Structure 1
């Protein structure tokens, strides 16, 4: 994670912090990484700053990232692929994100976007998970892909089958 600098209420730079968070939704325990920064507590009624106590605050950007992380945790709990699984698969078989996107029938940047921002939808995540876990399904999608030359299809299918033995 990049080191983001934030300004406190006194315009003093502070670090962005992260910690594991757990939420329960519909009986499902969701674990994700929540980002925030610490600053002095403010009394909501008087507006006075309590310098003896620091509390969590969130920027608009951090709120968006936390919501995406929570959504991603929910989708993974429902059977979607984890972005880390996709990265591991691509590294193992040396497949570019754009190539994997094309093989699965997505737009060129879809896999790259998922790896950076999390899963976009449950059906997309489940399809990716199925393909990552089943060599035959992935080989089938490679062979059906019109966006790859035959030589590349053969190379990828062979690579996936060999490394999975």
Structure 2
């Protein structure tokens, strides 16, 4: 079952979107580094060019077959800006997709982004974007300078 079908069917048990390069992503710190590199790309190139950059696996921010590494962006109002995992579509509203504690997934992401000056992250069970198999994933987010858009990275089976 794909994440998109889970969202469309309203059966969300846990949500995670991720981005990272298999060869260089072994830890949560590595995924945090991908998040920060994605942030720098948006700040220096603008959103459109950065989205293309992050979506090119040769740039080290996308590995769906391996670690499930990917980047995505969502607004405080629960609207997907982009998602390189293919699990959601741009413009999709996540407000109805609740986590086990009853809060929308975006609320979790906002909490993590507000954890420190450069954001923060957390672990949840979520379908891997390459295999659709559920597994433990680490997601890390920070706000773009507009203060409304969260830029996130995620990957599966991370250590420390």
If the TM-score is normalised by the length of the shorter chain, which range does it land in? under 0.3
Structure-2-length-normalised TM-score: 0.23
Highest RCO, 1 vs 2 (Cα 8 Å, sep ≥ 6)? 2
Structure-1-length-normalised TM-score: 0.23
